[in-house]
């Protein structure tokens, strides 16, 4: 999990990149042509469908980057569940700056709130099971830290952040090495402080991963019958993680097989943006 300083850096990078993409060299030519300088406005940011809010700090930084004199007031904290029609923030100041930042700020808010909302749905489906919900590396290139933050905001835990912070021996690694036990041994020798997880698609692979003393066995694309068998085979010798083909409709059944955690790529990969708008009111 990144520290606050790193999150601030990631927000800054994402905001600058997004504004440069939107404004180009000439800026908001429509607003500059039709409004001109010197006018001030007050605008409300309103959620138009129910969901969980994430990304208010990113929206605030977007407006501040354009004009640090703008006033941005959030009425909720990230993680708040709100109903349709809720005012979640207000921004006021120079009209050109507010309008220049509108779409970028909303894009971040809608996208990150959509992820938080999706994570909250899956988290709710797991209530009372004792099973942890995890995200994956299926994220938008360049936005991983923000998207994983949004997943946490919705109640998920973060899986590894990248290829650098945990060993995960997947099917393609096994396809090259042909030997799970040897792959685990080499991984521990090379990076003794890192957790070692092994992906398994069959009971033979599960058995090999356990015998190799993997810390976590990733049970990939198994139906509930096979999952139960794999869980029984592993026992308490490793953490048991289910992944692949997980939906809101079947996640409770997957949890009931006895796994310890479930990773769901759809949290970040398929989340629908939350409907949020900015409306000038004065």
Q: What's the CA gap between 68 and 98, in Å, rounded? A: 11
Which residue is associated with the tokens 């308490």? 236
- Among the options 32, 103, 186, 237, which is catalytic? 103
Q: What's the CA gap between 156 and 55, in Å, rounded? A: 16
240 is catalytic: no
- Among the options 17, 48, 124, 170, which is catalytic? 170
Contacts of residue 220, defined as CB under 8 A and 6 or more positions apart, other chains included, come to: 171, 199, 200, 201, 243, 244
170 is catalytic: yes
103 is catalytic: yes
Report the SS3 class of residue 157. strand
Report the SS3 class of residue 172. helix
Provide the 8-state DSSP code for 102: H
- Among the options 118, 147, 199, 260, which is catalytic? 199
48 is catalytic: no
- Among the options 138, 157, 213, 237, which is catalytic? 138
Strand partners, 240: 217
8 is catalytic: no
- Among the options 132, 135, 205, 220, which is catalytic? 220
Q: What's the CA gap between 126 and 15, in Å, rounded? A: 34
Active site residues: 103, 138, 170, 199, 220
């Amino acid at each position: 999990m990144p520290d606050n300083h790193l999150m601030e850096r990631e927000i800054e990078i994402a905001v600058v990149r997004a504004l440069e993409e939107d404004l180009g060299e000439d800026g908001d030519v429509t607003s500059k042509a039709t409004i001109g300088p010197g006018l001030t406005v007050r605008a409300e940011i309103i959620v138009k469908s129910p969901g969980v809010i994430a990304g208010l700090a990113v929206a605030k930084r977007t407006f501040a980057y354009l004009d640090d004199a703008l006033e941005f007031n959030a009425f909720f904290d990230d993680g708040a569940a709100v109903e349709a029609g809720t005012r979640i923030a207000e921004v006021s100041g120079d009209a050109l700056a507010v309008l220049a930042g509108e779409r970028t700020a909303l894009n971040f808010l809608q996208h990150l709130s959509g992820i938080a909302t999706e994570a909250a749905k899956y988290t709710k489906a797991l209530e009372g099971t004792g099973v942890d919900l995890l995200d994956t590396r299926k994220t938008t290139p360049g936005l991983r830290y923000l998207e994983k933050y949004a997943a946490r905001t919705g109640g998920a835990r973060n899986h590894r952040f990248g290829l650098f912070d945990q060993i995960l021996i997947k099917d393609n690694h096994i396809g090259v090495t042909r030997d799970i036990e040897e792959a685990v041994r080499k991984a521990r020798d090379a990076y003794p402080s890192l957790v070692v997880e092994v992906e398994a698609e069959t009971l033979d692979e599960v058995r090999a991963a356990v015998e190799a003393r993997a810390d976590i066995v990733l049970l990939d694309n198994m139906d509930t019958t096979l999952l139960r068998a794999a869980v029984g085979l592993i026992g308490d010798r490793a953490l048991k993680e289910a992944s692949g083909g997980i939906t809101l409709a079947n996640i409770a059944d997957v949890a009931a097989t006895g796994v310890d955690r479930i990773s769901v790529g759809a949290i970040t990969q398929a989340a629908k943006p939350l409907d949020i708008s900015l409306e000038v009111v004065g």
